[in-house]
């Protein structure tokens, strides 16, 4: 049994990490670091409410999950690693790629991973299969969007001014990770990042182009657009079209859990369009729990990490490259040696 402590019980900790850890056989959630004790007592009876210092000092805790605001990822993860703990960090990895590299150095001999859970979105899993089995042919264009409608600025850390806040670091990190999983590193990146809502203090809009040899990938997100197209992918044999977001986040927030009959099931099919017509494609069932099952099995020595620190570093480098592009108004070349950390 892997004994787990969770630091942070906001959106990431409460909706994603705590339920998924609790639902994963072989993991035991034993402690949570937060200020609101009553929430844990009600949701997870028997789980201790602790301080970070107590978690780091407890020899019975094997894995520390950092699900706090982005500006505390580095400090908490570094302290956990120095205390000899294995560490999972909610995305993004850290505030900067330099911080991420430092954590990788500290992690020698210890598991260090980043929670890029949207590798296990049902629609992404479906698209990945269609790309890999040749159904789409040679992919020439992909548009991957993460839109929602929130015209008013909220007083929360993700929408405040500061490093690694805003939708590019929050949602763009997911879209970059998915693109890298499908196609690898691009040759260059061009980005338009903006704060467009009245009173916005950080990025709430992004439109980013990843340039490959022949392939073009557009990653986009907008806080003022009701969710519409999620994927538009054109290949030499067929196109893949998908509307709406994977349901797992909504289901977790509503109290549904992995193992429930409806969990991860997508209500709306995708569409496969060819020269002879259009047909629906069933979307695979999403399964975020697979991430934590992979962490468990890595600690048992059975499988490689589901998300390596080197892969997460590659995402950090592209997040930063996009910021440089947006600041200069120019395309930024990507070195083939990027994200070469283990």
Q: Does the pLDDT of residue 341 top 50, yes or no?
A: no
**Mean pLDDT lowest for which of 177-186, 200-209, 292-301?**
200-209
| Collapsed DSSP state (helix, strand, coil) of residue 94 | coil
143 pLDDT more than 50: yes
Which pLDDT score is estimated for 9? 95
* Least reliable range by pLDDT among 147-161, 179-193, 229-243, 290-304: 147-161
Q: Under DSSP, is residue 242 helix (H, G, I), strand (E, B) or coil?
A: strand
Q: The domain at 121-286+317-333 falls in which architecture?
A: 2-Layer Sandwich (3.30)
340 pLDDT more than 50: no
Q: Look-up: residue for tokens 């120019």? A: 330
Domain 2-115 is found in CATH 3.40.30.10: no
pLDDT of residue 1 exceeding 70, the answer is yes
Q: How confident is the model at residue 39 (pLDDT cuts 50, 70, 90)?
A: confident
Nearest CA-CA partner of 322 in 239, 230, 207, 236: 207
Query: Residue 250: enclosing H or E segment and its boundaries?
Result: helix 248-253
Q: Residue with structure tokens 């990042």?
A: 193
Task: With beta carbons less than 8 A apart as the criterion, state whether 172 and 219 touch.
Answer: yes
The percent of residues in the chain predicted with pLDDT above 90, rounded, is 83
What does the pLDDT look like over 8-30, one tens digit per residue?
999 999 999 999 999 999 999 99
Residue bearing tokens 């080197």: 310
Q: pLDDT at position 47, please?
A: 95
User: Which one has a higher pLDDT value, 335 or 288?
Assistant: 288
- Token code pair at residue 94: 């850290």
Report domain extents, the chain: 2-115, 121-286+317-333
Single out the residue of 262, 272, 206, 271 nearest to residue 243, CA to CA. Answer: 271
Range from 13-17, 99-103, 147-151, 291-295 carrying the lowest mean pLDDT: 147-151
Residue with tokens 């060819």: 274
Model confidence at 338: pLDDT above 70: no
Asked whether the whole model's pTM tops 0.85, one would answer yes
| Separation of alpha carbons 51 and 175, rounded Å | 33
Q: At what angle do helices 73-82 and 97-106 cross, to 10 degrees?
A: 10
pLDDT (tens digit per residue) in 44-83: 999 999 999 999 999 999 999 999 999 999 999 999 999 9
Q: Which residue has the tokens 């030499």?
A: 236
C-beta neighbour count of 136 within 10 angstroms: 22
Query: H helices then E strands: how many in the chain?
Result: 12, 15
Burial 278-295 (b: 16+ CB within 10 A, else e): eeebebbbbbbbbbbbbb
Which residues face 206 on adjacent strands? 193, 221
Q: Does pLDDT of 96 surpass 90?
A: yes
Beta strands in 239-305 (DSSP E): 239-243, 270-274, 277-281
- Look at residue 337 in the predicted model and tell me its pLDDT: 64
């Amino acid at each position: 049994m892997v004994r787990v402590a969770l630091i942070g019980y906001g959106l990431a900790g409460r909706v994603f990490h705590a339920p998924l850890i609790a639902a994963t056989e072989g993991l035991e959630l034993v402690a949570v670091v937060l200020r609101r004790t009553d929430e844990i007592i009600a949701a997870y009876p028997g789980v201790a409410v602790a301080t970070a210092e107590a978690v780091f000092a407890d020899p019975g805790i094997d894995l520390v999950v950092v699900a706090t605001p982005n500006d505390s990822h580095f400090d908490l993860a570094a302290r956990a690693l120095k205390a000899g703990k294995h560490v999972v960090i909610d995305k993004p990895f850290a505030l900067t790629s330099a911080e991420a590299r430092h954590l990788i150095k500290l992690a020698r001999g210890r598991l260090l991973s980043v929670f890029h859970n949207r590798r296990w979105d049902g629609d992404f899993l479906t698209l990945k299969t269609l790309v890999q089995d040749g159904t789409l042919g040679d992919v020439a264009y992909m548009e991957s969007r993460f839109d929602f409608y929130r015209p008013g600025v909220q007083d929360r850390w993700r929408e405040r001014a500061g490093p690694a806040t805003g939708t590019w670091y929050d949602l763009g990190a997911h879209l970059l990770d998915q693109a890298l999983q499908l196609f690898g590193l691009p040759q260059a990146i061009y980005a338009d990042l903006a704060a467009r809502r009245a009173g916005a203090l950080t990025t709430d809009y992004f439109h980013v182009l990843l340039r490959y040899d022949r392939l073009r990938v557009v990653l986009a997100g907008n806080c003022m657009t009701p969710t519409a197209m999620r994927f538009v992918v054109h290949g030499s044999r067929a196109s893949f079209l998908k509307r709406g977001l994977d349901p797992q986040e909504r289901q977790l927030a509503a109290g549904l859990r992995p193992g429930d009959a409806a969990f991860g099931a997508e209500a709306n099919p995708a569409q496969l369009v060819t020269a002879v017509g259009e047909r629906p494609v069933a979307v695979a069932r999403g399964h975020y729990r697979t991430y934590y099952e992979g962490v468990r099995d890595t600690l048992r020595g059975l499988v490689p990490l589901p998300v390596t620190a080197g892969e997460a570093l590659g995402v950090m480098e592209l997040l930063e490259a996009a910021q440089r592009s947006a600041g200069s108004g120019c395309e930024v070349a990507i070195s083939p040696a990027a994200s070469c950390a283990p």
